[in-house]
Amino acid sequence: MRRWLSAVVVLFVSAMTANAQLKTATPQELGVIKVLLAQEAAWNRGDIEAFATGYKNAPDIIFIGSHVSRGHDELVNEYRKNYPNRDAMGTLGFSELEVRPLDENFAVVIGKYHLDRNKKAGGNADGIFSLVFEKTDQGWKIVVDHTT
């Protein structure tokens, strides 16, 4: 009986601890994640233009990768140049996403990406990213993208 009671207490405490660690996502966090999921789906359809709608269409957005690009048009042109066809684009997956709201209109997201491609198209690629999102009239949009 004593062992049974001890086991029940351990299970109960474990369940309480696990429940306390669960966090309900805020509407802000859900809005940002929704953009990333839409980008992932667009990329995997081979649709760079739809992927780019996750970025604010403005001349002052910044993309930091192997060099710094400024503006939505330059960003789209870089993507088209670096990923000229469906094979080069491969299949994109995001993981380990962590959203950090800064205030009501801005949030930072960190995460990892994996690009699955055949060797002929450049092979697989993995990296990390940090994104700054701004809440606009068109919804949440990326204004700074630092991807390595």
Helix (H) or strand (E) holding 80: helix 72-82
Q: What is the mean pLDDT of residues 49-66?
A: 97
Confidence label for 81 from pLDDT (cuts 50, 70 and 90): very high
Residue 55 DSSP symbol:
B
- pLDDT score of 135: 98
Question: What is the distance between the alpha carbons of residues 139 and 66, in angstroms, rounded to a whole number?
Answer: 28
User: What pLDDT was estimated at residue 34?
Assistant: 98
pLDDT tens-digit series, residues 90-133? 999 999 999 999 999 999 999 999 999 999 999 999 999 999 99
pLDDT of residue 22: 52
Alpha-carbon distance of 134 to 131, in angstroms, equals 10
pTM above 0.95, yes or no: no
For residues 6 and 14, is the Cβ–Cβ distance under 8 A? no
* Residue 25 vs residue 49, higher pLDDT: 49
pLDDT band at residue 24 using 50, 70 and 90 as cut-offs: confident
Domains along the chain? 26-147 (3.10.450.50)
- Lookup: tokens for 108: 């930072």
